[in-house]
Chains A and B, each alone.
Chain A
């Protein structure tokens, strides 16, 4: 039964992808890419990856679509050139050859779902066995993400941080960009119903974000998903009430501090472990018992992730919005 659902979603994925690439209307392409993200999130859920599904839904279908739409507000939404025929032929050949190579190799891969495949025999069972012992938390994904591979996650936070300062550096400070124009942007003030409903929803979204943040050790979720949710709530506020209002609630200065302090909090936990005699990011030394230390460490670094992600996503939104109203 699940297999049929799987095949159905896979088919939908391919169809959506084809439509995305072939549509000449960019708006359609972007909306289809949002649908694609939701479909692939459903597929992740079927494949037992709840955390990934939550992230993909929040990021791919939510934030990414908002960013694309913000950028499209500035451009022609019609694709005018079809491209050079020669390039299309060359890319078709490249693509076809690569596909043949991959499909050829799949025949020698372990079968889908085979528990005897090497990946289920080495390393991964150790994690499943040791997360309850080392950290005593139910969500194994959070345990690996926060501690065993915490250094990767540190890198991930800095990737987000880089994107934040990158967009600011490329598009310029939103406040300065906004000074050049009259404040005609009032959000959706004249739309009564969306405004009322939206305002009612914002507290719930933030509440859910906080739940995802602090319940990440027990259920799917964590700093990144929570950050995306809280940022979505603030972005919704900005859409309803206008960016000026949103910038009054959380000024740019605060956003700068959020971006930097989240990354520093994460790094700081690592350095604290270093100073207390452990290796970098070795949370075991942070508290009286190693298990408590691990739990504190994961809690703190997840907060760092949440802070940075929230700050960066809101900043990126403001940076785009300030441009598109020029």
Chain B
């Protein structure tokens, strides 16, 4: 058996089939161990797949031995390899760092179910990333969504329930919209395989239903990706989820929906519908620009660290959409590299929120003052990650902003306006990051503030700090040596926009 050949399917089934074992295990530590091992294995698979596809190759796999379009095909190219790395990496790091936090927030008897759902969420996201079949994407989207609802609803606050219900309603509408779009495309082309659709959609009898399909798919996926103004479910869901879940979901969940949106739009619709690039760009760009500013403003007004980070995500997703809405190779590169860099920064940010909650119970600002003196390493890591969120040179966030500005310059007069918005929103980012830094370093610890909610065991603490330091260091490392992710991103962008030429 040649393992390399089976990499695309192993990527999905390793975590997927580990999930049932989690609920069969009585011990919660054993379930945790299974989850960590499965995430690690998925991460290893994604790394080896990435090393193969980095030079532009594509790994294809026919599930069941049936060739596409009759069977379901899996495809790993540079874009999907990058996504699988983000997903499995985020899951692995969050699980390792989150031991103490899970103990703090979840009752022991629920933990094995929690880890099973976690693995299913990850497997669903991975399944979407490697799928090359429009309906298969829907199935795995639903696995990941249902599992995400479960792990978010595990949050201890009752507001988590309301947040999850909203997420469930909007997520289902989004997925069903996507399903309608796929149905319309199937009606007009008779196939579900993405490559086959791209071939046949040019020859349809009439483009109107396909345009309607494009509309449904774009809106449905934008809903799931929390693109402004369809983001309303997202801040509450991130805010009230268990801290460890926030770190994982914020790093990858919405980005996978964007990944599907980009793949669909750039490979299926744009090459085959005349003028669709224009429609896509001019539909998404205003939303992206408003989203960037709106998210940053609300984040600057937030009074809770997790809420701040969640709203900052609205703004950062705007950057990704903005890059893509230019429909140029440079713009797409900036969008894809920002997916990676934002996952690093936002995942790290939520990890620090988790640490803060571990020591001080909540993440409310009123409760966090003076963290810098008591926990200098943690707050130091936040400064680094905050710089990355702002886009300070020398951090990963700078790379994507730099690429974005470069791409905007290609757009002529409109580009100047875009750059102005980006600069202004970066200033807003400085404000909201500075608010936290000021709180950590320049305000005294309030008298009688609660602290040390749980006894954090030394190994847990060591693992947690190790992961936080690793993420902070990665934010700097990929700011100075962006080589590998940038290579994957530009490879992916040229593949996507190459189809559009």
Contacts and interface: CB of A to CB of B under 8 A. Distances in A.
Contacts of B19: 158, 161, 263
B169 to A, nearest CB: 13
A20 interface: no
Interface centre among A101, A108, A275 (most CB of B within 10 A): A108
A270 B63 CA distance: 9
A255 to B, nearest CB: 11
B116 interface: yes
A165 interface: yes
A273 to B, nearest CB: 8
| SS class, residues of chain A in contact with chain B | helix
B237 interface: no
Nearest to B131: A151
B209 A105 contact: yes
Interface stretch (B132-140, B337-345, B382-390, B447-455): B132-140
B150 A123 contact: no
Contacts, number: 168
Contacts of B208: 104-105, 107-108
Q: Which of A148, A158, A161, A278 counts the most chain B CB atoms within 10 A? A: A158
- Which of A107, A169, A173 has most chain B Cβ within 10 Å? A169
Given A124-B190, A158-B143, A270-B13, A169 B72 contact: no
Q: How large is the interface on B (under 10, 10 to 19, 20 to 34, 35 or more residues)?
A: 35 or more
Nearest to A263: B20
A213 B142 CA distance: 25
Contact of B150 (A107, A108, A166, A283): A166
Contacts of B215: 101
Interface stretch (B84-92, B106-114, B289-297): B106-114
B147 A155 contact: no
A165 B150 contact: yes
A275 B146 contact: no
A271 interface: yes
Contact of A165 (B6, B21, B23, B190): B23
Interface of A: 101-102, 104-105, 107-110, 117-124, 126-127, 130, 147-152, 154-156, 158-159, 161-163, 165-166, 168-170, 172-173, 176, 256-257, 259-261, 263-264, 267, 270-271, 274-275, 277-284
16 contacts: A101-B215, A105-B211, A108-B206, A108-B208, A118-B187, A126-B70, A130-B70, A148-B64, A151-B64, A159-B143, A161-B19, A162-B146, A165-B23, A264-B20, A271-B13, A284-B65
Interface of B: 1, 6, 9, 13, 16-17, 19-21, 23-24, 61-66, 69-72, 109-110, 113-114, 116-117, 120, 123, 127, 135-136, 139-140, 142-143, 146-147, 149-150, 153-154, 184, 186-192, 200, 204-206, 208-209, 211-212, 215
